[in-house]
Amino acid sequence: MSLRLLVVEGNARAAREAHEAGFGKTPSQSYADVLVSIAPDAVCDICLPADPGANLPNGRGLNEYDGVAVTGSALNIYDGGEAVERQLELARAIYASKTAFFGSCWGLQLAAAASGGTVLKNPIGREIGIARNIAPTEAGRGHPLLAGRSGAYDAPCTHLDIVVVPPGETIVLAANRFAPIQAAEIRYGGGVFWGVQYHPEFTLTELASILERRTGPLAREGIFTDEEQGKRYCAELRRLDQERERHDIAWRLGIQPELLDPQMRLTELRNWIELKVRPEKSRRGRA
């Protein structure tokens, strides 16, 4: 029997359309394709809880899924509003359903806030492009989410917000200079969430499409010297993604092997599917 997965799109319509215009797919469509590349027997549905009137699964509907994954988002938890509140309610329902639960970036922030944690703007600024030198904690070195990760690794990222106060039942699995929680397990309401602050699902091409839309603001923040430098950087990311043997570009941009090898880059998603989703499916008698 096929795996049934639900991908929860964190973005409202405008942000989804902007991503699709630059990359050719919405974040949730891209995420679903990545999950199917890892688990070819998976069938993915997508839901859009940020949209008014969205038809969201209830507890019974969530129990029909073997796993739920939440994408990134341009929203901020602390801004509140209906688009955020609907997602917080959905996250609590996922926990209560005890369905295998994963999230990237916004997904981690959402799962933390829904279970009593606090998310705020990062006081040391934006982490964007590549999250450098992510180090597993002592707990993380033995945790199945990070099985196969080295003692320090890099990952695609784009975020301004971080989890500053974790919920009560949180195991911090990894951190770096920019974020005290780069990976975590959270237990709440009988459910278990695994998630990361970075984006293992992003290829360098998808990352380039995101950065390219923001070269102006990023130049004003001092991340690029000017828009032209930003565009050149994005062009090199795209070229390296197409020609992974270009060690000169990898050296110049500081791109580590784990970003060029899909097996390594997708470590957390692969571990979640194989070590959490499939066993949970079997436990529920749907093997």
| pLDDT tens-digit readout, 173-209 | 999 999 999 999 999 999 999 999 999 999 999 999 9
pLDDT, mean of residues 134-150: 98
Q: Which residue has the tokens 């180090």?
A: 135
DSSP 216-235: HHHHHTTSSSSHHHHHHHHH
Q: Would the pLDDT of 286 be above 80?
A: no
Mean pLDDT of the chain: 96
Q: Would the pLDDT of 15 be above 60?
A: yes
Q: Would the pLDDT of 240 be above 80?
A: yes
Output the pLDDT for position 13. Answer: 97
Kindly report whether the global pTM for this prediction surpasses the value 0.85: yes
Give the 3-state secondary structure of residue 136: strand
Kindly list the distances between the CA atom of residue 179 and the CA atoms of 15, 165, 166, 225, in Å, as whole numbers in the listed order: 24, 12, 12, 24
pLDDT classification of 285: cutoffs 50, 70, 90: confident
pLDDT, mean of residues 92-101: 97
So what's the architecture of 3-201+266-283 in CATH?
A: 3-Layer(aba) Sandwich (3.40)
Q: Locate the domains of the chain by residue range.
A: 3-201+266-283, 204-258
Q: Would the pLDDT of 104 be above 90?
A: yes
